[in-house]
Structure 1
Amino acid sequence: MWSEIEQRIGEALGRDFRAARPTPVSGGSINAAWRLESGDDAVFVKTNRSDALDMFEAEAEGLTAMADANGIRVPQVITHGLADGKSYIALEWIDLRGRGDWAGLGERLAQMHRQTADTHGWHRDNTIGSTPQPNRQDADWCRFFADQRLGFQLDLAAGGGGNRQLIDAGRRLQEQLPALFNGYRPVPSLLHGDLWSGNVAFDPAGNGVLFDPATHYGDRECDLAMSELFGRFPDPFYQAYASAWPVDPGYPVRRDLYQLYHVLNHGNLFGGGYFRQAEGMVGRLLAEI
């Protein structure tokens, strides 16, 4: 497997690439991760079963779309494919540090969100974590989110560990969703899609780096809401973002809605307290309506 991956990397880089023994990289829960070194070249490689190739292809396209937006730094895609029955993606190796310019990251995220499309969704489906994420394009954001985000997760929960009270309340919320969008019509912005603290780091120059995207076009508030769910970003991030592109006054309520999508997804992946948390969020949103 490794000799074939090295060959593909070399072809993509336009020079010979022969690595020593791959070094495991910790931190991920879905894929195996590795560092390959050949001379002055270092490459980050993720591997998985052959049926994960579609996930890597979507990741490559998402990173490329974000890079083309000239906003935030993302790892450059080198190559991806199948090798000896395994799927893989090879990316630029970036030395990541824990601290950097949060205000600059906020400004550049707003710049990336200025990249817009005619419809919400994307030209292909992808994944949120290891869960399929449908992206059928729709000009109506409220309908898109009701069907392909909230409704899709409720369907999974109904077939898994979600209790009847959660599902029934979630369906009521799905039907009444337009009430949370009175006077607010978001443009389809280019989104990272899974913008939590674990998918953000800084390069040696202090520039923000985003990775592991679930890219699509949608309401920019989705990225902001996710950034507040599992460890809120520092205040300079939000202050700089709002200076570059002010946030609608109704965001605090819709933040709960957009976070609900991810909490439901975690319930469908891991069960336990996430469904109880989701039930409370649905109740608060119905109370707002």
Structure 2
Amino acid sequence: MIKKVLIASTMLTATVCATTVNASEALHQAMSAAMGEAIEDARYLQVLANYGMPVPDFNNDKSLVNSTDYKYPTSIEKGSLLQRVLDTETLRLGWIAVGSPWSMPGKDNEPIGLSVEYWAIIQDKLNAHYNKNIKLDWVEYTSKVGNNDMYKWLATDNDQDCVKLNTGSIENCYDIIGGAYAINARRKALSYMSPAYYPLNMSVVRTRTPFKDPTMKLNSAEEILAAIADPKSGLIIAGYEDTGEHSIMNGWKKKYGNTFTMNFRTPQSNVLEYAETAGAHFVMGTNARLAVTRQNTPEFCAECEFIPNILVFGGVGFATSLPENNK
């Protein structure tokens, strides 16, 4: 667990105005506004370049946040999470250690990655707007390997230290999921998802393992999905257990039945290195993770083809707890 940022006993007082935003939505709205400003900052493009990521289509991708459509709340309700953040000048962000390239352990287990660098820009925008010195307190989610259950440590206006959630400690609590969090239907139902700051899709790596039918050619997402649904194809798909990859494969099992074999790659393994020796035909990974892995380790599976858009997400964003009246 990241060492908690010490909070001064003498708190600053945020301005309380007539309420125009539901208290449980104010933090979400403020973060969306800061994120909209950050995505238009030139430093964001440099962050993407640091990880070998292509620039999104800002003009046509309507899933992406922007500063025009996302505004800061015009008032702050007393006792809200947003007021706490401003009073304590501390924003608690959840992250996971298996979220590369978005978040991963660095020196002394402190998080590094694309999301961490991007949140530093968001931090600047928040501080400029509210004239504060808000610090980022990264809280590692450790209950499970993946991020599907990260919502269970999300604070609410009425439970700001997650006491009612029985997380085991008030340190197991954060205001926002700020690390690797892909937007999907399940997470939208369990948490208050932001717009995206980067487009995301699930892709696959084609390994050297020959198909059951040597004449079979699978060169697109549509062809692969059709083969997954066909029990005669004998496809073997590998993914990371207890993550979104596992959930996607479980969804295919539920939809098609036992039409393919599901394998799991070893934790913390390099997806391209695994693809070199895997018995699977395809190994799953997001477009972002595969791009970064290719950049960092070009020696692994150099001839392996990436096939995108097996499943298209809304992108990568952040999440706060659902508003109380939506639970």
Q: How high is the TM-score relative to the length of structure 1?
A: 0.28
Report the structure number with the largest CA radius of gyration.
Answer: 2
Kindly indicate whether structure 1 or structure 2 has the higher relative contact order, using CA contacts under 8 Å at least 6 residues apart. Answer: 2
Higher helix proportion? 1
Q: How high is the TM-score relative to the length of structure 2?
A: 0.26
